[in-house]
Every structure is written in structure tokens, then in C-alpha cells.
Chains A and B, each alone.
Chain A
């Protein structure tokens, strides 16, 4: 089909694409153009074009900043611990849900387990302070009523870390079961029946059928998670974190916000953001490569 004929028949498709494409160009690729700020002595009066090039000076600066290394360490630490704690939770929950025979309870339980995923971090932050607060938090009310000292869940670094991780499990475990449950529907039911006839108990069935059936899903999810080690959302650490635990709660995204928007050091903050984006890309591509090698499935 020549382009003339083709366009006469299909021009509407391109017309539909015009607005979405404009969106991607302006709001997704526009900021990529702005990345050059990291290499310029940026100020608003001169704009991106007018500001002077300074080469890699901003990067030399950030690699000399102690705070940069702390936030880098925290990002990796929080993500790694989160993976350790939050990764197995949905898997276990999904298996329990799958094995649940009381259908009404299974449905009710699923509905409730998904809810925390739909609650904003601001509200979760509010709930966290009401539940874990030292002065009048629900847990500490019980602890002090039993005659113990209040536990500084939010102001002691170690306890804060535990709180941060626990809240992560609470928020994401239920939602995370969806993908495993989807994978579980793909397992051949006859396998279970055959195992039952062979006299295998429930645990043995889980061990020999369910888990191997889920293995590809587990691997892919694990690899995706490893690929996101250096990227971290802003809201969770920002809302749950506070000054007392900043040594642990300050991560790359909050650092960029603080240095850039609060102190107006746009060049430095852009450089940190670029560092994170590039390292993140390398991680993700590496993870994708690993996924292709280890399993047949690739993320992309």
C-alpha cells in the first residue's frame, strides 16, 4: 500500500495520536532536555539556555558531600531491607489465600488486604503517628499501661527502621498477592489431585507443586525488585521520616527535594537526580538481562 492510500485510510489513527504524543514530548522528554542543568551554573533569570556551562563541577561537588553518601547508603539500605522483609510476605499470603477453603472468608480477607494499597502515604503517615507515637500512640498506651517504658518507634533510629519496614509490609503485602494468585490460576489442578491420591499432605503439595509453579513469577519479581534498588519513592520516607531519624530516613529523593527546591541549589539537585537516573537505568537493564538469562521471561 502506498503512503497516499495508506494515509487516506489510516490518517485518523495519527490524528488520535497527536495529543498523546505532544504530551510525551512536552512532559516526559521536556524534562530530559532540562537535564543539562546538571552541567550548567543554572539560575532562573538566565534560563536553561542562558546559564553558563560548568562541565562536571556539580558532580565533583556532590561526590564530596557527606550527605550525598548518607542518602545513597540509606536508599540502598532501605530498599534492601524492604526486599528482605516485604518480598516474601505477599508470596506467603497468596499461598494461604489459595489454600483457603472457606470461600466467603477468602473473599472478605482479600478485599480487606488490598485496602492499605489504596491509602495515601500522607494518611498512612497520620495513622503511623497515631499508632506508634511515643506520647499517645495506641501501642505505647498498652506498653506503658503494662508498666514498661514507652518505645521510641519513631524517634530512635533502630526502632524507626523497624517501623518503616513494618509499615511497608502492611501497605503492600495484600496487593502483592494479586500477581501470585494470577500465576496460581495457571497451575494445572490435576497435579494437586494426583498428589492428593499419592497421599501428599497440604504442606507437601505446597512444597512440591505450588512453589515450583510460582518459581518463574518469584524470580521475575525478585529481579525487578533488584533492578529498582536505587530508585525510591519520595512520599514514604518523607512522610514517615522526621528530623530525629534523618540519619536513616534521608534518601536520594528527599535529598533532591531538600537541596533543590528548599535550598534552591538546582544544579546540584539535578546532578544527584541524574546520577540516580543513570545508575537506576543500568540496574534495570542489568536486571532485564539477568531475567532473560535465568528465565525465559524478560521484563521489557
Chain B
């Protein structure tokens, strides 16, 4: 193909626009990271933008020695692992039978799932349910109500349904039970979609905030997001009331907030690149089928 001058202009413009948007995506993180690694003086006088000024790791030292922050991290990790495990167990238990065309009553069962994608009881009835099950202020209030995302379940079902039936049939002839063919045949073949959905569930739980705000009261059960929210709230209040110097001392230093934000984000950024190739494929499966 010949290259026109206009094509070269296009390539250049394309590169610049993409680069700009990529940098805009990155800049806020760099800013927060810079704040978290800078001294109080430069931060308050507005000298910190994308690089640390008067480099210090003091804020991180504080975050890592803050017992409540460490406990919150530990609790969030435990919550996320427990939740993701339960989610996947239940999703697989539902997905395998529903992908089987021989399942009688499949249409009715699918309807039960699909209806919940379009209509729900709403915030207050959900709260009242959790309350009347005596789950308030316990880890279970953050685990049980959101175990199966119907949309993710449908992605899983369509993935299972695409695995050639002959594989299962021959296993059946060999006397393989459904449990064994699920564990021995289906699961090993489904690792990409299982990795993707696990990532989505885990990220959703890690980032989840609304339910923690509604269901959790005891500080020892504060997940990171709730804890961070309260830290950040201080920020908003100062900004709104334009507090005077004397009161400023009461407010959590900016660098500490920034370090906490980084602290809560880094775990996601660590797992994310490893799973990226999976989720891009996984979402495409969902996009084409869904």
C-alpha cells in the first residue's frame, strides 16, 4: 500500500492524541504518588505536581505502622479472598448445569437469573433483608448479598456451552459423573474465563463501598475503602469550609491521605497486568454473546 502524505499526518496526529489521553490517564496517579513522597512544605505551597519534591517516605512509614490501617488491609484481603472464592464456587455450580442443553427446566431457571438483571428490590428492602437475617456489622453482610452477578454468570454459561459437547459425552460413556467431568474436563478448559471473572469479582469486592457504608459500624470491620473514605472526607470539609490555620493541624496531612490511596490501589495494579490478557478475551466473549 502506498503511503500518502496525509497518511503520515494521520499517523502523527493519532500518536499525539493517544499519547495525550494515555498521559491524562496516568497523570493523576503520578500526582498522588508524588504527593505521597513529598514533604509537607512543598505540598502546602503547591509545588508538587508530577514529581516528588523534598523526597520523603515518612507518610508510608506512618501508614505501615498504623495498626488500624494494617488491620483494615488484612481484613480487606481476607474479605476479598473469601468473597471471590464463594462467588466462583457458586457461579460454577450454577453455570455448569445451565450450560447443559439436556437440563430440564433450563429455560425457567435462566429466567429466574435474567429477571434479576432488570429488576431488583432496591436499596432499602436489601438493607432490611440483611438486617433481619442478623448479618449487619459482620463480614457476611459483605459476602453473601452479592455472590452471583447474573451478567458474569451468563458469560460463564456461554463459555461452558461453547466447549464441544462430544468431550463431555465421551466422558459420560466412560462412566464419568457430572461432578468429575466438571472438575476434570470443564474447569481446566475454562481457566481464561475463570481468571477473568475472579478478577472482576475480586476487584468489585476490593473496591466496593456502598455496602460497607450501609452494613458496617465497627471500626475493626472497616474495609479499606470505608477507611479511606473517612480520611478523604476530611479533605472535602477543609476545602469547603476553608478552615483556618489552627484547625488545619487537626486535618490528616495530604501526604498521608495520598500514601493511603496508593496503599489501597497498589494491590490491584499488581494483579492487573497478569490478568489483562485474560480479561480482554473474556470481555470479548461476553460482548459477542451478551
Listed in ascending order, the chain A residues whose CB lies under 8 Å from chain B are: 6, 10, 12-14, 16-17, 19-21, 23-24, 26-35, 37, 44, 47-48, 93, 96-97, 99-102, 105, 108-109, 111-116, 118-123, 125-127, 129-131, 133-136, 138, 140-142, 144-145, 154-155, 170, 173-174, 178-179, 182-183, 193, 196-197, 201-203, 234-235, 238-239, 242-244, 253, 256-257, 260-261, 266, 269-270, 273-274, 276-277, 281, 284-285, 300
Contacts and interface: CB of A to CB of B under 8 A. Distances in A.
A32 B22 contact: no
B90 interface: yes
Interface in B81-114: 90-91, 93-94, 96-98, 100, 102-104, 109, 112-114
Interface string B53-78: 00000000000000000000000000
A136 B44 CA distance: 7
13 contacts: A14-B97, A16-B94, A26-B129, A96-B18, A112-B25, A120-B207, A130-B235, A182-B288, A202-B11, A239-B229, A256-B124, A261-B123, A281-B119
Interface residues of B, number: 102
B97 A16 contact: yes
Binding site secondary structure of chain A: helix
A31 B121 contact: yes
Contact of B18 (A24, A47, A109, A260): A109
Contact of A242 (B17, B206, B236): B236
Interface of B: 1-2, 4, 6-7, 10-11, 14-15, 17-19, 21-22, 24-26, 28-29, 31-32, 35, 43-44, 46-49, 90-91, 93-94, 96-98, 100, 102-104, 109, 112-114, 116, 118-129, 131-132, 144-148, 177-179, 182, 203, 206-210, 214, 225-226, 228-229, 231-232, 235-236, 238-240, 242, 254, 257-258, 261, 264-265, 268-269, 272-273, 276, 280, 283-284, 287-288
Contacts of A119: 207, 265, 268
Contacts of B4: 201
